[in-house]
Chain A
Amino acid sequence: MLNHHYTRYSRAKRGSGRGWELLGFTVAAFIGLLSSAPVARAQDSTIRAVQNIFDPLSAPAETLFNISVLVLAVCAGIFLVVGGLLTYAIIRYRRRGPEDDTEEPPQVYGSAAIELAWTVPPILIVVMLVLVTARTIGEIEHHKMPETAEQIRIIGHRFWWEVRYPKHDVVTANEIHVPLSDRHNRVPTEMILESADVIHGFWVPQLNGKTMLVPNYRNTMWIEPYATGIYLGNCTVLCGQQHANMLIRVIVDKPEDYQKWLESQKQTPGPDPQTEEGQKQFIANSCGTCHTIQGLRGANGVFAPDLTHFASRATLGSGVAPNDEQNLRSWLKDPQVLKQGCLMPNMQLSDKQIDAILAYLRNLK
């Protein structure tokens, strides 16, 4: 369904010189090879479909990446040492023939000195890991947001994402626009995560780790993306039949594009004589009970995605299909075809009604 080309951000651009960089890059390259992602130059509309956690493109994801590579290196070291010793013991002390069956090897019951010796290094490693972990947890969780920070509220629903921009009074769904940040002009985005029904999980690996959206709780998370593009992610906590298609698209815009987008979202679509029939049908078939369209009387439901700027979104049904005429027609005819188990019922619309509503929705730029 995703026909775009996938690109990987060129690491050289960031030019940070951390000690783990080389090792991390090797890991990232190895995993990138496995996922067979073609390398191309990053563009604004790049779809970042392959979300490799070892190829972070956001400040907190990079912090997680650094500790991940350290832990990975420690674990690899332990594996080589212990695995090597096991292999050596197995090969060196194998039974070599029937003559070995006649006599038992020396019976050794243990050795306090040896056992002490191999207990101390694990303890030291644990102490080191605990300290590093505690520091990283603090770095992420007690990160102070600058004044310039953007703030969004994400509310998980079965099976879509409600997105609110409290500073700008903008409401949208499923496609989350955030501003690009850079070293000189930091614009992190703080996300407030809530749920309307069951527990969901928000995860876009290149931007940050995951956080659950728990009903009655208010979790927060922040991202600070370095590269523009469209980042794909998933809901990570089983929330019902369409958990798999509760997809996330985070669109990182350049600051000026982001402002433009905000402005366009603030516009309330005015009455348009060409789509008057569609508006009528939209209300007559009680679409407005669940969906909101600003400027349309009677369309103020909060149960389903806000459709005020529906045509400006690239996908339908929380990423299940591209938002084109054919898919929208199929969706209006029966949403259960594209997304079986989603909560929108088949509204039994006639072809004429579908034509009218389709024309109306396609016009909501």
Chain B
Amino acid sequence: MTAWIQDLIFTVDHKKLGFMYLGAGWLFFIAGGILALLIRTQIAVPNNHLLDGETFNGAITMHGTTMIFFFAMLMVFGLINYIVPLQIGARDMAFPRLNAFSFWATFFGGIFLFMSYVFGPGLYGTGAAPDASWFALAPLTSRAFSPGNNIDFWSLGLLVSGVGSITGGVNIMVTIFCYRTKGMTLYRMPLFTWLALVTMFLVIMFMPPLSAAQIMLVLERFFGAKFFEAQAGGSPVLWQHFFWIFGHPEVYILVLPAFGIISECVPVFSRKPIFGYPMMVAATVMIGFISAGVWAHHMFTIGMDSFSVTFFAFATFVIAIPTGIKIFNWLGTMYGGKIRFEIPMLFCIAFLFQFLIAGLTGIMLGCAPFDWQLNDSYFVIAHFHYVIVGGIVFAVFAGFYYWFPKAVGRMMDKRLGLWHFWIFTIGFHLTFDPQHFLGFLGMPRRIYTYQEGRGWEVLNMISTIGAFLQAVGGIIFIVNMIISARKGKVAGDDPWDAWTLEWMTSSPPPDYNFEHLPEVRSRRPLWDLKHPEDPDWKFE
């Protein structure tokens, strides 16, 4: 036991670190999920007194921060850490020690954030958890309005974890650029790796603005700087620019790896290569670039001049084009295939429909005049949970069912997987579909209570029931992982009859990943091996 713990603490192996990222991510997911259930229970009925305003504000802040920075980010880094070196035929990451540092920095950032529940009150005795919402709109975060230490736990925790993300981003980029096996040109890289590359580009471009803003906040709170404080001549709008110039690309940091997972699973389970690989890559790079120029669509109601509003609405619409291309390419991949409804594919199919809806509600929010009604309402909550749960979490589930056999050597149980899929999907729709209509009916986000008669009671109740169903689905998933890791069917090297390099090595892979690799001559090296009479490289 001690040897095992010691190994976890000192390891620099990308696969073990990947496991640790994912394990820590699920722990934070449970914490964030409990907070979500508390939030949903509080607003299930009007005039509820389960939580008071302060506890509720703490819960929404911690839920949002945890799910974005310590669940979704850890999933992204965990999956990329585990899969990318295997997909490009590398033995490990370029900088294994830096990799371990990145994990521990991120992990400690998260633990530090949760310490606020214990130490947050500080000397002033107010506010146990950070309670200025996950985008911490200045000047609510200034000493005058948040006198305790809770905000400091938020800013310092994210600062530390941000360092972990940035170093991790550099590491993964260098690995992809310098450690590909013989013959794997950029043009032959699997799509998951391509999307990881663009993601890490976004990480090292757009995490620093957030870190800079956190440093400014720390200076303001501890050393009397006046960046955001209106009374002293600072500008609260400045904080929002800093936050959203990070915040919007962050969405793509989370969703591009999800696209990557879908781009691996859909071809394998449709038994066809990805349709239009060059377009997929081009669309990804386009999304990466355009995502840098849309941030102010989160600020349409702040009183910008009409030229800026029009520009950011335009940029937001434009990003729909490459995203649409992706959906069409997945459709083209399935078209003419022989689709196998294994569990990963079920999650992919649900992803496609949900992400389609999320994209369309995104267009509605991008249309600035419509956004003046919808911004900061429950419609926004529904929209981004469609992206993050309906999109990213579903893709992460697909990825887990898909790569679990490789990482553990055993298949995940299909019957439990079906239960998980259906309960979670139904729960997801019960939770978030009604929230669109709550937004139409004028319910603003972040209210801890409401009076009866506003037309919100029934929809909120349905939404809360859905949240608990999702929790049941999540528990089934965790149980499935635990049972399957011990008793699952032995997987073999290549249970899905897939085509990328990670399926060439044993399951689980040895420490050195590969003993020997053939020269890669196409995007599907394993197809070439399995079909020597009809290899891909003849056609690419």
Binding site for B on A (CB under 8 A): 1-2, 4, 6, 31, 34-37, 47, 49-54, 61, 63-64, 67-68, 71-72, 74-75, 78-79, 82-83, 85-86, 89-90, 93-96, 100, 104-111, 114-115, 118-119, 122-123, 126, 129-130, 133-134, 136-138, 140-142, 158, 193, 195, 197-199, 201, 203-205, 208-212, 214-217, 219-220, 232-245, 247, 340-341
A sample of 11 inter-chain contacts (CB < 8 A) reads: A95-B340, A104-B338, A119-B325, A133-B368, A195-B230, A197-B145, A216-B230, A235-B444, A240-B53, A340-B52, A340-B53
B376 proximal to A (CB < 8 A): yes
B492 proximal to A (CB < 8 A): no
> Within the assembled complex, what's the spacing in Å between the Cα atoms of A282 and B60?
39
Q: Is B321 within 8 A of A119, CB to CB?
A: yes
Q: Is A1 within 8 A of B451, CB to CB?
A: yes
Q: Is B339 within 8 A of A36, CB to CB?
A: no
Q: Find chain A residues with CB under 8 A from B510 CB.
A: none
Q: Find chain A residues with CB under 8 A from B338 CB.
A: 93-96, 100, 104-105
Q: Is A105 within 8 A of B442, CB to CB?
A: no
Q: Is A137 within 8 A of B368, CB to CB?
A: yes
Q: Is B313 within 8 A of A238, CB to CB?
A: no
Q: Is B360 within 8 A of A2, CB to CB?
A: no
Q: Is A89 within 8 A of B363, CB to CB?
A: no
Q: Find chain B residues with CB under 8 A from A111 CB.
A: 275-276, 332
Q: Is B455 within 8 A of A49, CB to CB?
A: yes
> Within the assembled complex, what's the spacing in Å between the Cα atoms of A51 and B53?
24
> Among the listed A109, A126, A195, A232, which residue makes an inter-chain contact with B277, where contact means beta carbons less than 8 Å apart?
A109
> Within the assembled complex, what's the spacing in Å between the Cα atoms of A63 and B47?
34
**Given known contacts A137-B309, A244-B53, is B303 in contact with A212 (CB within 8 Å)?**
yes
> Among the listed B53, B233, B279, B459, which residue makes an inter-chain contact with A115, where contact means beta carbons less than 8 Å apart?
B279
Residue of A nearest to B126 (CB): A241
Residue of B nearest to A205 (CB): B442
B310 proximal to A (CB < 8 A): yes
Q: Min CB distance, A233 to chain B, in Å?
A: 7
Q: Is B375 within 8 A of A109, CB to CB?
A: no
Residues facing A in B431-464 (CB within 8 A) are 437, 440-456, 458-459
B127-162 contact mask (Cβ, 8 Å, vs A): 1 or 0: 000001100010110001100000000000000000
Q: When A and B form their complex, what is the total count of cross-chain residue pairs whose Cβ atoms lie within 8 Å?
A: 310
> Within the assembled complex, what's the spacing in Å between the Cα atoms of A138 and B368?
11
**Given known contacts A119-B325, A244-B449, is B455 in contact with A136 (CB within 8 Å)?**
no
List 8 tightest A-B contacts by C-beta distance, closest first. Answer: A209-B372, A35-B455, A215-B230, A51-B442, A244-B447, A219-B303, A110-B276, A241-B53
**Given known contacts A107-B272, A244-B447, is B352 in contact with A137 (CB within 8 Å)?**
no
How many interface residues does B have (CB within 8 Å)? Answer: 98
Q: Find chain B residues with CB under 8 A from A107 CB.
A: 272-273, 534, 536, 539
Q: Find chain B residues with CB under 8 A from A64 CB.
A: 369-370, 372-373
> Among the listed A85, A138, A237, which residue makes an inter-chain contact with B331, where contact means beta carbons less than 8 Å apart?
A85
Q: Is A126 within 8 A of B53, CB to CB?
A: no
- Among B133, B313, B442, B445, chain A packs the most CB atoms within 10 A around the CB of B442
Q: Is B236 within 8 A of A142, CB to CB?
A: no
Sample of 7 more A-B contacts, CB < 8 Å, known A109-B276, A241-B54 = A2-B452, A31-B441, A35-B459, A51-B442, A133-B367, A215-B139, A236-B445
> Within the assembled complex, what's the spacing in Å between the Cα atoms of A93 and B266?
13
Q: Find chain A residues with CB under 8 A from B532 CB.
A: none
B212-250 contact mask (Cβ, 8 Å, vs A): 1 or 0: 000000000000000000110101110000000000000
Q: Is B376 within 8 A of A82, CB to CB?
A: no
B334 proximal to A (CB < 8 A): yes
> Within the assembled complex, what's the spacing in Å between the Cα atoms of A238 and B54?
11
Q: Is A54 within 8 A of B440, CB to CB?
A: yes
B408 proximal to A (CB < 8 A): no
- Among B277, B332, B341, B536, chain A packs the most CB atoms within 10 A around the CB of B332
Q: Is A82 within 8 A of B370, CB to CB?
A: no
Q: Find chain A residues with CB under 8 A from B314 CB.
A: 130, 133-134
Q: Is A90 within 8 A of B334, CB to CB?
A: yes
**Given known contacts A51-B441, A75-B360, A105-B337, is B279 in contact with A212 (CB within 8 Å)?**
no
Q: Find chain A residues with CB under 8 A from B444 CB.
A: 201, 203, 234-236
B8 proximal to A (CB < 8 A): no
> Within the assembled complex, what's the spacing in Å between the Cα atoms of A205 and B442?
6
Residue of A nearest to B237 (CB): A214
Q: Is B373 within 8 A of A68, CB to CB?
A: yes
B377 proximal to A (CB < 8 A): yes
> Within the assembled complex, what's the spacing in Å between the Cα atoms of A239 and B142?
12
